[in-house]
Structure 1
Amino acid sequence: MRGHFRYSVWDPFLIISQILTIQAIFYVSLGALIFITDIISGYSQSLDQIFLHKAVSVKDLHGRCLAGSFILNSLCGSVALWYFVQRTKLCLDFTATAHLIHLILCWWYSASFPSTFSWWLLNIICVTIMCVCGEFLCMRTEMKAIPLSLGAKADL
């Protein structure tokens, strides 16, 4: 280990499985939040709400509820970072990767590059929330005191 707190090895299987896990949680939690929003608002469910950049709008109530779902999903993503990644240094990497994959899937689904200002602003806000909250949670865990006595009784 030579001077390092954690032993780190290049493990591509671990990294890919973490990326897939974060991405799966990203879409499952987003889908659940949008489903709840759709039930409350009476809007019909569609993949357009997740992948179509024109669906995000601040002009109507449903677009704002959809934006709220994306923001709440960022909090779910930060908990996923804390639970599965567990490293403060890697939160930005995994957050950027999840949102880059989302950008590519939105581009592919809509057959056009996302061009609406509200979509870009929302995604910048979501990246910021997910990264900062994930770093906060991971940092709190990393900063916990390491127990030095492992159940041994001290004879004083």
Structure 2
Amino acid sequence: MARRRRPPRPGALTELPPLKILTQIVLLQVVWYAVGTLLILFTALVAGKKFSFDLVLSWRSLRGDTTVGWMLGLVWLLNSVVGAVSILLLISRSKLVPDFALTLHFIHLVVVSAYSKSVPQNMLWWALQVASAAMMTSLGVWSCQYRELRPINFGGSAQNTTGESSMAASTNEAGDGEQEYGRGRGRGRGRDGAGEYEMVGMKADGEAT
């Protein structure tokens, strides 16, 4: 007897086609490096420093005893906000945000290690990666959840919906008044509220009883 396969875990990367996952990861990585390079280039020019790709891809440039090292740390934290926005635009699913954010930083670790020809040995670099991944994950999850929980508008505005509700309530009140008026068997009040009326029986010859 054939065994039934278990359904994939909700929110897992297996829910998406492999080619789409690869495309999204490449786009996220390209945007992250492009924006980070531009921010570092702008900051270096403003500070009067010479720009080189060591500032972007070498872990040795991120040091706690130099102004350039702290400047790079702040720039990479700012770039994490850009990464969260990129995840919101490209992924738009809160359950997949941690997977993509951690994958992005893991690829960055591989690239930095290959460029520097050694695994990063600076504690500040590792602390920055943890802070960057946490910031990107938290901002990405919050923004995606905010987008997922927004009310869906089917072509009408909130004012139109409120007006229709008020009109329906008025119609219901008017209908209830007419039903009360029509159900009266003895004494009651007229529609115009001018006074009370009394229903009397009529004989066949037209005289009131």
Normalising by structure 2, we get a TM-score of 0.67
Aligned counterpart for 1:99 among listed residues 92, 102, 105: 105
Aligned counterpart for 2:72 among listed residues 59, 66, 71: 66
Q: Which has the higher contact order (CA 8 A, sep 6+)?
A: 1
- Unaligned 5+ residue runs, structure 1? none
2:60 and 2:152 map into 1 onto residues whose CA distance is: 49
The answer on 1:123 being equivalent to 2:129 is yes
Larger fraction in helix: 1
2:52 and 2:15 map into 1 onto residues whose CA distance is: 42
The answer on 1:29 being equivalent to 2:35 is yes
Any idea what SS the aligned residue of 1:75 has?
helix
1:107 and 1:115 map into 2 onto residues whose CA distance is: 10
Give, as a single letter, the amino acid of the residue that structure 2 aligns with 1:62.
V
The structural deviation recorded for 1:9 is 4.7
Any idea what SS the aligned residue of 1:99 has?
helix
> Superposed, which structure 2 residues align to 1:74-89 within 5 Å?
74-89=80-95
The structural deviation recorded for 1:146 is 2.4
2:69 and 2:93 map into 1 onto residues whose CA distance is: 34
Give a deviation string over 1:103-128, Cα, whole Å, max 9, x none. Answer: 00011001101111010001111111
Any idea what SS the aligned residue of 1:58 has?
coil
Any idea what SS the aligned residue of 1:70 has?
helix
Give, as a single letter, the amino acid of the residue that structure 2 aligns with 1:94.
F
Normalising by structure 1, we get a TM-score of 0.88
Give a deviation string over 1:51-73, Cα, whole Å, max 9, x none. Answer: 11111012111111111110000
Change beyond 3 A, Cα 1:9–1:62 = closer
Identity, % of aligned positions: 28
- Unaligned 5+ residue runs, structure 2? 1-9, 169-209
Match of 1:136 in 2: 142
The answer on 1:10 being equivalent to 2:16 is yes
Highest CA radius of gyration, 1 or 2?
Answer: 2
The structural deviation recorded for 1:10 is 3.4
The structural deviation recorded for 1:150 is 4.6
